[in-house]
Amino acid sequence: MSSLLSGREILVVEDETLLRKRLVAYLESQGAACTGVGNLAEGRNALESLPLDYAMIDVNLPDGNGMDLIEVAASAGGIPVVIMTSEGGWQRAVEAMRRGAADYIAKPFDPPEAPLALARCESGRREARLKSHREKPSGEDDGLFFGDALEGFRAQLDRVLAADARLGKQLPPVLIEGETGTGKSTVARWLHANGPRRDKELVAINCAALPEQLAESELFGHVKGAFTDAKQARIGLFEAADGGTLFLDEIASLSPSLQAKALTAVESGRIRKVGSEKEIEVDVRLIAASNRPLKELSASGEFREDLYHRLSLLQFEIPPLRDRGADLVRLAEHLLARLARKYGYKTARFSKRCLRSMMAYEWPGNVRELEHEIERALVLGDPEALEFSGIAADQGEEGYELDWLRAGWRFPEEGFSLEAAIDRLIARGIEQSGGNVSAAARLLGVNRDYIRYRLGKKKNGEE
């Protein structure tokens, strides 16, 4: 429980001097910083002026009803309030919860019981912060597909999960690299959903979308009055993900100073809010992703080398879709089955022409582009014979052939024409050299007589 209280600012509003002193002393022994006051007016002043994380407030105060401070705590940044009620005062406890208290504790109680009440209200404290960043649990609908091309990749992920199960806490960071659209966030969700923290929160943020002036507060939180617009205290994403997983997409977009703070958080498990002098403990499994190789960025000085080495302990690279060979069609079938269920189609299939164009296309947008093309075809086209209108405009008749110039290509089962392939290479060489046969011969590494021979042979065959 000490990790919850370490570095936290707690207000105790209690008329009974002995209980107040005992409670403050115990909470401070657990790492908290406490302020103890004995009446309503002092409690109100403390709530409005101090950077508090929690407040424990007695109902019966000499100058008024302690429950009146619940609204003050709410307007002061949503400070969670634990109401202390006299023995048997359950009706007041219910009223306190209805007015916005996070929890209650019945008097008399021993000070060691207080952290339990604070722990119960911690999840509610994080809930609002998590709403805009929570990721759905992974499952069959996450689009992740492991085919032959990713068999080794899957085996490595399974080893990470086995190590995570043995560790339980303080899990090492994971770095996922790959082109845009290859499925980095999907892999992050899969790791979380299949690991020991599956029942905890997965918090995700795209670092490239963070405004530079707000990024530090967004990640690490701030105390009230930390800067001009900090009218309320706020927890950061590291704290919101405590006990779970934090996914930082496009981590290379963080400024050098924030990279330094992220390194400290990863290495020590401690963070410092903006405007605070105290550190708090967090236990976060960090998964970072980048569409640019961090090793190259660190070598050029664009990314902190020490943070790269810390993140690269468990480093994975997702290959682009164009390099996955025959898995491309199997992945497309997997995505189609999921999307067909979404739109209520019992059957849906690709046309033969669509399959040919799928294999010929380079897919610069990778899995994300493929999924969008399938969904567009399903919505706008014939589900029984799907066509990719989005890529057809970029393909000539030649483009619909199985393109053996593309990485990952496999020989078709019906066979392959080497003669046609040679003619195609020659045609492309002549096109690239502007119709100059001698220049095309140099590109192809043959003499120009050979090219003339092939052109004549093709012409005679056509005639």
- CATH code at position 452: 1.10.10
Instruction: Say yes or no to pLDDT of 402 above 50.
Output: no
Q: What is the pLDDT of residue 350?
A: 93
Q: Report how far residue 309's alpha carbon sits from residue 313's, in angstroms, rounded to the nearest whole number.
A: 7
Domain-ending residue, one of 70, 100, 125: 125
pLDDT tens column, 294-313: 999 999 999 999 999 999 99
Instruction: Say yes or no to pLDDT of 124 above 50.
Output: yes
Instruction: Say yes or no to pLDDT of 409 above 90.
Output: no
Same domain, 90 and 182: no
253-271 core/surface letters (b: 16 or more CB in 10 A; e: else) = bbeeebbebbbbbbeebeb
Classify residue 26: in a domain, yes or no.
yes
Classify residue 411: in a domain, yes or no.
no
Same domain, 340 and 367: yes
Q: Looking at 176-180, 395-399, 415-419, 458-462, which range is the least confident one?
A: 395-399
Same domain, 18 and 109: yes
CATH value at residue 179: 3.40.50.300
Q: What is the pLDDT of residue 428?
A: 82
Same domain, 388 and 457: no
Same domain, 332 and 276: no
CATH value at residue 348: 1.10.8.60
Q: What is 174-237 written as a DSSP string?
A: EEEE-STTSSHHHHHHHHHHTSTTTTS-EEEEEGGGS-HHHHHHHHH-B-TTSSTT--S-B--H
Q: Are 305 and 297 in contact (CB under 8 A)?
A: no
Tell me what the mean pLDDT of segment 354-366 comes to: 86
Q: What is the pTM of this model?
A: 0.66
Same domain, 190 and 310: yes
Tell me what the mean pLDDT of segment 244-255 comes to: 94
Q: What is the pLDDT of residue 106?
A: 85
Classify residue 19: in a domain, yes or no.
yes
E-strand spans in 236-310?
245-249, 270-272, 279-281, 285-290
DSSP-derived pairing of the beta strands 315-317 and 174-177: parallel
Domain-ending residue, one of 268, 285, 317: 317
Q: What is the pLDDT of residue 211?
A: 84
Q: What is the pLDDT of residue 292?
A: 94
Instruction: Say yes or no to pLDDT of 374 above 70.
Output: yes
Classify residue 350: in a domain, yes or no.
yes
Classify residue 410: in a domain, yes or no.
no
Instruction: Say yes or no to pLDDT of 131 above 60.
Output: no
Q: What is the pLDDT of residue 118?
A: 83
Same domain, 354 and 447: no
Averaged pLDDT score across all residues of the chain = 84
Pick the residue with more confidence: 7 or 343? 343
The residues that bridge with 10 in the sheet, in sequence order, are 34, 54
Q: What is the pLDDT of residue 395?
A: 46
Domain of 371 in residue numbering reads as: 321-400
Q: What is the pLDDT of residue 141?
A: 40
Please provide the size of the chain in residues. 463
290-302 core/surface letters (b: 16 or more CB in 10 A; e: else) = beeebeebbeeee
Tell me what the mean pLDDT of segment 277-305 comes to: 93
Tell me what the mean pLDDT of segment 216-245 comes to: 84
Same domain, 226 and 196: yes
Token output for 319: 């290959």
Domain-ending residue, one of 317, 343, 370: 317
Token output for 434: 């502007």
The residues that bridge with 234 in the sheet, in sequence order, are 222
Instruction: Say yes or no to pLDDT of 6 above 90.
Output: no
Using pLDDT thresholds of 50, 70 and 90, give the confidence band for residue 410.
low
Same domain, 237 and 340: no
Domain count, the chain: 4
Same domain, 326 and 392: yes
Classify residue 408: in a domain, yes or no.
no
Classify residue 132: in a domain, yes or no.
no
Most confident listed range (118-122, 146-150, 391-395, 398-402): 146-150
Classify residue 134: in a domain, yes or no.
no
Same domain, 238 and 99: no
CATH value at residue 46: 3.40.50.2300
Same domain, 259 and 375: no
